[in-house]
Amino acid sequence: MAGHNKWSKVKHIKAKQDAIKGKAFTKAIKDITTAARAGGGDIETNAALRIAVERAKAVSMPQSNIQRAIDKATGNLQGVHYDEITYEGYGPGGVAIMVECMTDNKNRTVATVRHAFSKNGGSMGESGCVAWMFDKKGIITVARSDKDEDIMEVAMDNGASDIKEFDDFLLFESDPSDFNDLLKAIEEQDVEILESSIELVANNEVDVDDETAAKVEKLIDVLEEDDDVQNVYHNMS
């Protein structure tokens, strides 16, 4: 029995490790796909893609998986055609939600997304129902350091439209057209870049209570578990 119990524990630990690794792979693939879709598949000219690929390698993602994600995003995956489509809707408490997808089967994806909304206190809406509440922006976050003042000056000189200071990191916003140049300039300062992507940012956030926030987070978790879903955005503060 002792041996059996030990093996059960080992299997449990391995399953947990595999789940963590799976989530890391899923995030890495989505980051690569989003970066390649926005800036092309060449890491020499697409700084966001280069960083996403480096992060994927850091979690031991095979090169074949990395290349497949790039090919999927750029339309170079032979025999398969992927469509980009964004679904809109409302979560619990009237929270606006945008769901960016990349799919080879629109019927499957829309059914899955609609089911996630309806089973988790939300509802899908028509195209444009909440899109007006979001703006597309380049977002870069870097770890705080003794270089903060220099980094902020470099950022302002290279296209940053806004800078937000937090306890552990700085957040830079830019127009999407300035994103790549800004990212390159910050990279050259030899600081730790925590996140870099072009995202939808809510221009009008809503406050909800803790119970409603938990329900919205559950809906977002369910949506993000779908392989076709690339990004989920909301306007919950």
- Residue 36 near residue 74 (C-beta atoms within 8 A): yes
Domain with CATH 1.10.10.200 in the chain: 2-74
* pLDDT mean across residues, the chain: 86
Select the more confidently predicted residue: 81 or 207: 207
Give the side-chain half-sphere CA count within 13 A for 104: 9
Round the CA-based radius of gyration of the chain to a whole number and report it.
Answer: 20
At the fourth CATH level, which superfamily is domain 136-202?
A: YebC, transcriptional regulation domain (3.30.70.980)
**pTM assigned to the model:** 0.76
Confidence bin at 232 (pLDDT 50/70/90): very high
Q: Give the per-residue pLDDT at 1.
A: 39
DSSP strands (E only) in the chain: 83-90, 96-103, 123-124, 134-143, 160-165, 169-174, 193-202, 229-234
Q: Domain 83-132+204-234's class?
A: alpha beta
Q: Which residue's entry shows tokens 């909304």?
A: 117
For 60-84, what is the mean pLDDT? 85
pLDDT score for 159: 95
Cα–Cα dist 201/229, whole Å: 17
Helix (H, G, I), strand (E, B) or coil at 161: strand
Q: Which amino acid is at 200?
A: L
Which of 9-13, 64-68, 128-132 is the most confident on average? 128-132
Residue 29 in contact with residue 65, Cβ under 8 Å?
yes
Query: What's the pLDDT at 22?
Result: 57
Domain boundaries for CATH 3.30.70.980 within the chain: 83-132+204-234, 136-202
Instruction: Read off the pLDDT of residues 29-56 as tens digits, 9 standing for 90 and up.
Output: 888 888 888 888 998 888 889 888 988 8
Indicate the fold that domain 2-74 takes in CATH. Arc Repressor Mutant, subunit A (1.10.10)
**DSSP bridge partners of 199:** 137
For residue 12, pLDDT beyond 70: no
Report the pLDDT value the prediction gives residue 28, as an integer from 0 to 100: 83
pLDDT digit string (tens) for 183-223? 999 989 989 998 888 889 999 899 999 999 999 999 999 99
State in Å, rounded, how far the first CA of the chain is from the last one.
51
Of residues 97 and 51, the one with the higher pLDDT is 97
| Tens digit of each residue's pLDDT (9 = 90 or more) over 154-166 | 999 999 999 999 9
